[in-house]
C-alpha cells in the first residue's frame, strides 16, 4: 500500500525573472589595434556566412563604435562563436542581450 502523497510545490517566477531567462545571448566583436579591417570582414564572412556587404557593415560598426553584435542565440552557441572568433585572433565576448 502506498503512503500519503507529499504536497508538491512549484516555485513561481516573476515576470522580471521570466523576461531575464527569455533574453537571448549575443556574441560581440570588439575593436582591437591589431587586425586589419579587411581581415575582420573576411572572418565574419567565413564564420557566419555573411555576405560581403553585411560583413563590411559589421566591421565598420566595430571600427567606429568599438564593438558590434555578430550573432545571437542560446548561451552554448554564443560560447562556441566566441571561441571560434578567438581562434582567428579577434577580440570577442558573449553576454545576455541588453
Q: What share of the chain is helix, strand, coil (3-state, %, to 5)?
A: 50, 20, 35
Q: Contact, 85 vs 35, CB < 8 A?
A: no
State the pLDDT at residue 63. 98
Q: Would you give the distance in Å from CA 48 to the centre of its chain? A: 12
pTM over 0.85: no
Q: Is residue 38 exposed (0-12), middle (13-18) or buried (19+ Cβ within 10 Å)?
A: exposed
Distance CA 92, CA 29 (A): 4
State the pLDDT at residue 73. 97
Q: What is the pLDDT along the chain (98 residues), one digit of tens a residue?
A: 555 655 555 556 555 555 556 789 999 999 999 999 999 999 999 999 999 999 999 999 999 999 999 999 999 999 999 999 999 999 999 999 98
**CATH class of the domain at 24-96:** alpha beta
Helix 75-87 and helix 37-48, axial crossing angle in degrees, nearest 10: 140
Amino acid at each position: 500500500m502506498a503512503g500519503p502523497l507529499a504536497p508538491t510545490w512549484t516555485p513561481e517566477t516573476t515576470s522580471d525573472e521570466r523576461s531575464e531567462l527569455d533574453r537571448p545571448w549575443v556574441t560581440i566583436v570588439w575593436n582591437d589595434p591589431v587586425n586589419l579591417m579587411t581581415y575582420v570582414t573576411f572572418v565574419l564572412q567565413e564564420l557566419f556566412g555573411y555576405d560581403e556587404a553585411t560583413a563590411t557593415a559589421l566591421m565598420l560598426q566595430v571600427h567606429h563604435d568599438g564593438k558590434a553584435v555578430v550573432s545571437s542565440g542560446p548561451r552554448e552557441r554564443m560560447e562556441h562563436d566566441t571561441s571560434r572568433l578567438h581562434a582567428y585572433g579577434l577580440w570577442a565576448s558573449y553576454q545576455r542581450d541588453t
